[in-house]
A and B are shown apart, each in its own frame.
Chain A
Amino acid sequence: MSDRLKIALLLAPALSIIGILFFGGLLIGFMRSFNYMPVIGLVDPDLSAYVAVFTSKEFYLSFLLTFHIAFTSTVISSILAIGAALLLRRTFIGRSLINFLFQLNLTVPHLVGAIGMLYLFSQSGSFARLGAEWNLISKPSDFPAMVFDPYAIGIILQYIWKEVPFIGVIVLANMQSLGEDYESVARSLGASKWQAFIHVLMPLIFPGVLSASVIVFAFTFGAYEIPAILGASFPKALPVLAYQKYTDVDLAARPEAMAMAITIALLSALMIYFYVRYTRRRIRS
């Protein structure tokens, strides 16, 4: 048996799962988005679902909200993760413990974190009650709206809480493999600490930061459960809106849900493309 065949056979189980479940689902979704659903008698493909999506004001509001959530979460998480990695690569007493605690919430599911956010930050949550108890606010409902709010603060907080260690672990591993010699060279050539960070360390860790932040952006742009739990009723995040259409009692609404899902995927890919291009160009300059 040739090596090529062996490799193909070994990869076959994984590839078939990806092929059938992922690309199969994508293909069905793609066909349905063009109103092609033979099960309910829709056999003439058309663009009506896309027209409905793109002429809906709700879609654009949802898109803006989703972009805001994904962009803000990614940028803040990346900045905090780089800062945390810079601290954690230093040698200090208790570093192992701090490192362990930093990574601990990687194991906590998003849903659990979201419920925690509800308990802590809602207007009937722990912080609101403590604020009222300590007379910082007159009653719990005076606590600033941080969940179910139009700015999606609770959602963003939840993503930051979860994604900072995710990006941080990748960046820290990257920094540790690089060591500090490049920065030492820069310092001895006359760079200040800040210049060494901006001109030397950042470009070196950039591929790691970029990979991790792209994953975070793609995830937060397409994730359903956190906006569903912590989001406001209007506007909804795009995945929540798409799911709502998909679960509509009227089966004829499904093509619109699929058009929205395909649009989310395309927009996500497009934004990642521009994000990567822009950040690469920025870092090179």
Chain B
Amino acid sequence: MTHVSIKELSKTYPGSSEPALDRLSLEIPTGELTALLGPSGCGKTTTMKMIAGLLDPSSGDVLFDDRSVLDDKPEHRGVVMVFQNYLLFPYMSVADNVGFGLKMRKVPKPEIDRRVGEMLELVKLPDLGNRRPSALSGGQQQRVALARALIVQPNVLLLDEPLSNLDAHLRFEMRDLIRGLQQKMGITTIFVTHDQEEAVVLADKVALILDGQLKQYEDADVFYKRPVDEATARFFGGQNFIPGSSNGSVFESALGRLVLPEGAISGAGKLTVRPENIRINGLDKGENSLKAVVSERLFLGTQTRLRLLVGEEKIDAIANPNEVENLSVGDAVNITLPPSSLWVLPT
């Protein structure tokens, strides 16, 4: 159980003028599961490799329980990294793969066999010890990679895009397995992902990294309700950004005067409301109700996407298909923007 502190960590690769990671600071509490979220090339994996000791930082520090580990070799840090493509050793059996870390630590063979058996039980693959990795499905390979990492009882577990190579069904299964094992063993876990859904379903807290810099580090739901800026909101699927000005409780814009929730900033800014939070043709015609016209309609299977015009301003909304099945392009509708779903972003 280890508290991880990342202090002003930067990395600039040789031959590059731009840093891959720029002064990242994070505190990851003991036993928590934290997601490093960001698009490809934003510095997530670089961060993980520096925590694991596989890459030297250009500047900054990594501390485990307030002790710098920069001088510790990777094999002495107590950090295990599970890579996105699992990287099971193809010439070894599943059991040998799982027992690899123990073998490197010169644990006696009977002890290795016993612990490998227990670990394979834990990841629900008790009968596959003799198989080669090539004979396993993607989900099974992921479990073996996880078992191989957990068997050495690391202080910190690093997971690189743990669910991205799995289909929808396996994602749920693996998510439950990873969370279950992480909570059972209490290992401080950091995983990187470019998928905000993966981050939200798995992590206690999410650190959003854009262009090598930390944008926001909060509980997952805050990114939907209180994003720090437009880029963060857009990364989490935000689509509506209406310019105007705020006095902290009311936002004035082309949409008119809209009541804001507590804590909204004052001054010039952009109002954001998530498409799924807009109520269409509801009975509530009180606070923050507006008249709109449907300008586009797109059926997406489980939801219908509507583009609405409020005066000249375009607003995107998502609705249950059954609730808007009678609406057509050109129809007038009443929409409500609940104050609790509004947020003002600085410009």
Contacts and interface: CB of A to CB of B under 8 A. Distances in A.
Nearest to A182: B87
Given A184-B83, A189-B148, A192-B75, 19 more contacts: A181-B85, A184-B52, A184-B74, A185-B81, A186-B100, A187-B54, A187-B74, A188-B54, A189-B104, A190-B75, A190-B152, A191-B100, A192-B104, A199-B100, A199-B103, A199-B104, A203-B91, A204-B89, A204-B91
Interface string A88-130: 0001000000000000000000000000000000000000000
Interface residues of A, number: 18
Contacts of B75: 187-192
Chain B interface category by residue count: 20 to 34
Interface string B70-85: 0001110101110101
A90 B289 CA distance: 63
A48 B200 CA distance: 83
B214 interface: no
B87 A195 contact: no
A191 B104 contact: yes
Nearest to A200: B89
A189 B87 contact: no
A176 B5 CA distance: 34
A189 B80 contact: yes
Nearest to B103: A199
A184 B89 contact: no
B281 to A, nearest CB: 53
Contacts of A186: 100, 104
Nearest to B100: A189
B89 A91 contact: no
B49 interface: yes
Contact of A181 (B14, B74, B83): B83
B114 interface: no
A284 interface: yes
A116 B106 CA distance: 50
Contact of B101 (A181, A184, A190, A200): A190
B149 interface: yes
Given A91-B14, A195-B104, A199-B104, A188 B80 contact: yes
B105 interface: yes
A188 B91 contact: no
B149 A189 contact: yes
B54 to A, nearest CB: 5
Nearest to B13: A91
B188 to A, nearest CB: 15
A91 B13 CA distance: 11
Nearest to B74: A187
B314 to A, nearest CB: 45
Given A187-B74, A189-B80, A181 B52 contact: no
B89 A203 contact: yes
Contacts of B74: 184, 187-188
A185 B91 contact: no
Interface string A192-229: 10010001100110000000000000000000000000
A196 to B, nearest CB: 9
Contacts of B91: 203-204, 284
